[in-house]
Amino acid sequence: MNRQQKEALKKLLGDRVRWDVSMAEHSTFRAGGRAEALADVGDREELQALVRWLRNSGVPWRIIGRGSNILVSGQGFAGVIVRLQGELASVKQERGAGHAGAGTVPVRAGGGCSMARLLAWCTGRSLAGLEFLAGIPGSVGGGVRMNAGAWGQAMGGLLQALEVLDDRGRLFRLEAGELRFSYRRLELAGLDPDRVIIVSAWFGLRLGRQTEIVARCRDYLARRREKQPAGVGSAGSFFKNPAGDHAGRLIEAAGLKGLARGDAMVSPRHANFIVNTGRATADDIAALMVEVQERVYRDSGIRLEPEVCIF
Ligand SMILES: Cc1cc2nc3c(=O)[nH]c(=O)nc-3n(C[C@H](O)[C@H](O)[C@H](O)COP(=O)(O)OP(=O)(O)OC[C@H]3O[C@@H](n4cnc5c(N)ncnc54)[C@H](O)[C@@H]3O)c2cc1C
């Protein structure tokens, strides 16, 4: 950005824009290059104004949630990283709202709302359905974008509608029938999902027993603790599972558990986790990713695709 652009952005967002920010502090990998600017946006009008300005000035941008599935390259990001806060991170029940399936309670959550907050809010009101999200450290927007899931369920399965903003700053609502979810993927009719901001999402939940909801969450959390590395930086599973197989199985079969580049390591506990055991850089993680891809390909003929979004 040139000086004029920086001044215009400062005028638009005041102290909610920060400059030259280490993305290691905003990524669960605890690694990543620097972003030219990080902008926290608190309501729809501000978000629309920002996206229109970004488009008109040609400044590159990306939206992030809780940074639990991203890796910002060591070269950094020349542009603005946007995050949703305030009313765009809130959650509420929408009594009488349309489009609820029979017997379901419509809950609307802002794209910036953490899954942990949404889950706690639902549990407090005995609303069941999202327990499988327990322990996934993302946001509603990031989760919907990635169709996050676990234990055979995924977010797309409970979605009734989305409120989205396109890169021209236009807000609109998409109904469930206009959304295509598949494994860790969302397709929006005629729109590039990387150029769209998920502003809020409506979920159809059902009334349940609070004790049972709590028990299910605890069970899922315990299962995670058993399987996943703890106390290290990571972005969860690094690679997508190829059709009919598991990335972790292929990595383990290629003998790569414990393989390291700097402080980036293929977790000895869960082969599909690349972990940051200390001071790994984004370049260490990227180099390890490429090595794992090459060696798994040599071993099995299968090319692993990263699930982590690299920018
Ligand atoms: C320990 C650990 C365990 C995990 N376990 C699981 C698991 O069991 N299942 C699973 O699916 N994932 C898992 N993950 C990965 C990750 O938590 C999910 O993919 C999560 O949904 C990402 O949400 P986020 O807000 O952190 O997104 P980010 O990492 O911030 O962003 C991810 C992508 O979503 C986009 N995005 C973010 N917010 C928005 C928005 N509002 N509108 C449009 N696009 C947006 C970003 O541009 C980027 O492309 C795990 C991660 C960790 C660290």
Q: Is the CB of 147 within 6 Å of ligand 1?
A: no
Residues 6 or more apart whose Cβ sits within 8 Å of residue 179: 156, 159, 162, 186, 187, 188
pLDDT score recorded for residue 105:
92
Number of H helices, E strands in the chain: 7, 19
Average pLDDT over every residue of 86-106:
77
Confidence of residue 101 (pLDDT cuts 50, 70, 90): low
Q: How far is the CA of 136 from the centre of ligand 1 (A)?
A: 8
**CA separation for the pair 166, 168 (Å, rounded):** 5
**Which CATH number is associated with domain 247-310?**
3.90.78.10
- pLDDT of residue 75 exceeding 70: yes
62 flagged as catalytic: no
User: What pLDDT was estimated at residue 148?
Assistant: 95
- The per-residue DSSP string of 250-262 comes to HHHHTT-TT-EET
Q: Is 237 considered catalytic here?
A: yes
Domain ranges for the chain: 3-84, 88-227, 247-310
Mean pLDDT of 169-193: 90
Mean pLDDT of 207-218: 97
Give the Cα separation of 130 and 143 in Å (integer). 12
Task: Check if 100 has its Cβ closer than 6 Å to any atom of ligand 1.
Answer: no
For residue 26, the SS3 value is helix
What's the rounded mean pLDDT across residues 157-166? 95
Q: How far is the CA of 179 from the centre of ligand 1 (A)?
A: 18
Mean pLDDT of the chain: 95
Q: Which helix or strand (DSSP H or E) is residue 86 part of? A: none
Q: 144, 159 in Cβ contact below 8 A?
A: yes
User: Quick one: which of 12, 136, 146, 159 has its CA closest to 80?
Assistant: 12
The answer, yes or no, to whether residue 55 has pLDDT greater than 50, is: yes
Cβ 33 under 6 angstroms from ligand 1: no
Q: Is 197 in the pocket of ligand 1 (CB under 6 A)?
A: yes
- The H-or-E segment that residue 234 falls in is none
Cα(103)–Cα(129) distance, rounded to whole angstroms?
13
Q: What is the pLDDT of residue 94?
A: 79
Span 129-137, average pLDDT: 97
CATH number corresponding to 3-84? 3.30.43.10
CATH number corresponding to 88-227? 3.30.465.10
pLDDT at 98: 45
Judge whether residue 191 has pLDDT over 90.
no
* Tally of residues, the chain: 311
**CB of 150 shorter than 6 A to ligand 1:** yes
Give which of 92, 85, 93 is closest to 114, Cα–Cα: 85
The Cα 308–Cα 239 span in angstroms is: 7
Tell me what the mean pLDDT of segment 272-300 comes to.
98
For the chain, the first-to-last Cα distance in angstroms comes to 17
CB proximity list for 126: less than 8 A, separation 6 or greater: 207, 208, 209, 210, 213
| Cα 96 to ligand 1 centre (Å) | 30
Residue 102's pLDDT is 61
Which of 108, 237, 261, 267 is catalytic? The answer is 237
For ligand 1, atom 36, the nearest C-alpha belongs to 142
- Percent pLDDT > 70 in the chain is 97
